[in-house]
Structure 1
Amino acid sequence: MYTPDLYKNEDPESIRTFLKGNSFGILINQTNGKLCATHIPIELEINPDGKEILQGHISKLNPQAEGFAENDQVLAVFTGPHSYISSSWYDHENVPTWNYLAVHVYGRIKIVDEAAAIESLKKLVDKYEANSVNPVRVEDLSAKTMREAKGIIAFEIEIDEIQATKKMSQNRDAKNYANIITELEKTKNPQSLAVAKEMGEKLK
C-alpha cells in the first residue's frame, strides 16, 4: 500500500486497536491465475506460541479456497472511517482530498482442523453477541445446527508484514485543521463524523 511517510501509522497498539474494531475485512489471494476477494470477519488473535495471527473462515463452496494450496500468500485489507475533504474548507487555494484509515496485513494462510475451527467460531460469536439481550452461544447450539460448521473452511494467517495508513489532514496548520473538523461535523454523515472524531483526538 502506497503511504507517504507523513501518513504512516507505525504504532503497534494503535494498529492492534484498529484491527479489533474494524475486523470485517477483505481476504485477497490468487486462485487459478485470478485475483479473488471475499468480504468476511477476520479476527486478530494470539496463538499458543504467543504470536499475533489472523483467524477467519470461508464457505467450502467458495472457489477462493482452491488457491490456498497452490499459494499460501494472502492479503487482508481492513478499512476504517473515511470522508471527502473539500478544499473550500481551507483559507487558501488547494485541491480536494480524502481522509481515511486503512490497514493491509500480508501473510501466509494455513487451514486449521475442525476442533480449532469450532474454537474460532466460539470466539467470533462471543465477541459479537456480547451486547445482545439473549446472546447466542456456540456451545448451546444443537448438533443439527452445528452440522453447518462442516460447510466452512477455517484458517489462520501468520502475519509477515503490516502496513497502516492514517491520513487525517496532518499536513494542515492548526487553523485549517480545526476548520476541517467543524465542516465535517456539519455534514451529519456518519463516516464524516467518525473522521472528525478521529481528528479531534489529536487536539485533546
Structure 2
Amino acid sequence: MYQPPHFREENRDVLHALMRAHPLATLVTKAGDSLDANHVPMLLDPGRGSHGVLQAHIARGNDLVARHDPSFEVLAIFQGADAYITPSWYETKRQTGKVVPTWNYVTVHVHGRLTLIEDPAWLRVQIAALTKAHEGARTAPWHVDDAPEAFIQSQIKGIVGLEIEITRLEGKWKVSQNRPDADRAGVVDGLAAQGDGAMAGLVAAGKR
C-alpha cells in the first residue's frame, strides 16, 4: 500500500478499533497463478501473538478451501469511513485556484498466515462468538441455540473455519493532513453540512 508518512497510522489500538468497527474484511488469497478475493466477517482476538489473530468461517464449497496455499501470506483489508473531497471546500481554491479533488479514507491492511480449521467444536465456538458480537446489543438478541440442534449441526458441516495469525499491520488514515489548517476547516464544515459526521470527525481529529 502506498504510504506517505503523514497518512501512516501505526497505533495498534487504533488499528484494532477500526477492525472491530468494520469487521467485514476483503480477504485476498493466492489462487493458482492468480489472486482471489472473498468478503468475510471476522473477529479479532488481540491477546494472541504480537499483533493478534483473526477468526472467521466460509462455505465449504468456496474455492479458497481447495486452492489455499499455506506457503503464501494472505491479505485482509478492513475499510473504514471514506468520502469524496471537493476542492470547493478549500480556502486555497479562493486564494490561488491551485487545487484538485481527492478522496479521504481510513483502512487497515492485515498480512498473515492462514490456517483452515474443520473441527466442529471450534466452529461452534466461532459462530457463537460471531453471533454474540453482532446480536449482543439488540433488545432481543438471537442466539445460535435458538435454532434446532440438528439444524445447527448440519450447517456446521457446510462451513470451514479460518484463523489468520497476523504478521504485519498497516494503517492508512488519509484525512486531509496534507492540507493547510484553513482547508481542513473547510473540509470539516463541508462534510458536516452534507451529513458525513464520521469523516468530518476524522479530519477534525487529524492523526490524534
In the superposition, the TM-score normalised over structure 1's length comes to: 0.90
In the alignment, the residues of structure 2 paired with residue 69 and residue 139 of structure 1 have an alpha-carbon distance, to the nearest angstrom, of 34
1:151 maps to amino acid = G
Match of 1:9 in 2: 9
Deviation string, structure 1 residues 156-193 (Cα, Å, up to 9, x no partner): 001111111001011122222111110111223xxx33
Match of 1:195 among 195, 199, 208: 199
Aligned residue pairs, count: 201
In the alignment, the residues of structure 1 paired with residue 53 and residue 68 of structure 2 have an alpha-carbon distance, to the nearest angstrom, of 17
Match of 1:126 in 2: 132
Cα 1:72–1:144 change in 2 (3 A) is farther
Match of 1:109 in 2: 114
In the alignment, the residues of structure 1 paired with residue 192 and residue 46 of structure 2 have an alpha-carbon distance, to the nearest angstrom, of 37
Cα 1:46–1:117 change in 2 (3 A) is farther
Regions of 4+ moved over 3 Å? 46-51, 69-72, 201-204
Deviation, 1:36, is: 0.8
Deviation, 1:144, is: 2.3
CA contact (8 A) 2:29 2:37 kept: yes
Cα 1:43–1:80 change in 2 (3 A) is same
In the alignment, the residues of structure 2 paired with residue 47 and residue 9 of structure 1 have an alpha-carbon distance, to the nearest angstrom, of 20
Deviation, 1:125, is: 0.1
Deviation, 1:201, is: 3.3
Match of 1:150 among 157, 164, 170: 157
Identity %: 29
Cα 1:46–1:170 change in 2 (3 A) is closer
Deviation, 1:85, is: 0.8
Cα 1:2–1:79 change in 2 (3 A) is same
Structure 2 unaligned regions, length at least 5? 93-97
Deviation, 1:69, is: 4.1
Does structure 1 residue 172 correspond to structure 2 residue 173?
Answer: no
In the alignment, the residues of structure 2 paired with residue 116 and residue 57 of structure 1 have an alpha-carbon distance, to the nearest angstrom, of 10
For 1:37-76, list aligned pairs within 5 A.
37-46=37-46, 52-69=52-69, 71-76=71-76
Cα 1:59–1:174 change in 2 (3 A) is same
Query: More displaced, 44-53 or 133-142?
Result: 44-53
2:103 maps to amino acid = W
Does structure 1 residue 89 correspond to structure 2 residue 93?
Answer: no
Structure 1 unaligned regions, length at least 5? none
